[in-house]
Amino acid sequence: MGGRGTSRGGGSRSIRAWLAQRAVDSKTFADFSRNAETVRALKAMGYGRAEAEQFYKDAKYKNSAKYAPISLEAAVAEVRNGIRPSALSGWFRNADSDYKPEIEAAIISNPALRNAGLNIAHRNYMDVTGRNISFDDFINGTFTVYRGGNTSYTKNDVFISYSFSKKVAQSFGGNVQSIRIKPKDTLGSYQTTGEAEILVRRK
């Protein structure tokens, strides 16, 4: 699969496709980046470590975007099984950004987990707005989300938390910022109580 995959078809497009599949098949970035054939392909693309890691994450994001409606109970169970409880509480309870990369990696490496997060976000959106909207219309729609408080970020802030509620954002103080998002492009939500934040990828 290796050497033949990088040369077939000629040009950077076939190399990118091969690398993307390697990224999807790799459990971690370390696994992806230590493979000799992968290293040669990355060099052929002119990628250093930072570009290689971004490519790896982009491939994982794209592969994990597989959505279907499931029950709230099933979504909550998927979250409990897919993310370490200490990582969840580390961010959602203690606001420790050091847990964010682990949470992101778990989500983009597991399409079922990301789907669970989008189903929870769908439920949270309906609870906050009082609107009854189908799951398909929700993930493909465009919505305004809000953020208040801190706007200075560290390297570990790989995603940023927003709320469907402007009132919740205002409770954090500071100037409230708003952006427009398509839920299918986010990481979803992983709380059913409290702030019920939706996680938006930071590039």
pLDDT tens digits, residue range 162-199?
999 999 999 988 789 999 999 999 999 999 877 789 99
Q: Say if strands 198-201 and 177-181 run parallel, antiparallel, or are unpaired.
A: unpaired
Same domain, 103 and 36: no
Residue type, 104: E
The pTM of the full predicted model, rounded to 2 decimals, is: 0.89
Same domain, 162 and 141: yes
Tokens matching residue 56: 């790896």
Residues 116 and 69 sit within 8 Å (Cβ to Cβ): no
Domain enclosing residue 51, as ranges: 2-63
Query: Which residues have CB under 8 Å from 165's CB, separation 6+?
Result: 128, 146
| The predicted structure's pLDDT at residue 6 | 41
| The predicted structure's pLDDT at residue 192 | 84
Same domain, 130 and 183: yes
Which of residues 12, 42, 63 is at a domain's end? 63
Same domain, 110 and 37: no
Same domain, 10 and 53: yes
Surface-to-core class of residue 59, CB atoms within 10 Å of its CB (0-12 exposed, 13-18 middle, 19+ buried): buried
Same domain, 97 and 138: yes
Same domain, 23 and 95: no
Same domain, 148 and 172: yes
Same domain, 54 and 139: no
| The predicted structure's pLDDT at residue 19 | 97
- CA separation for the pair 151, 40 (Å, rounded): 39
The low-confidence residues of the chain, meaning pLDDT below 50, are 1-9
- CA separation for the pair 108, 201 (Å, rounded): 11
Look at the chain and report how many structural domains it folds into. 2
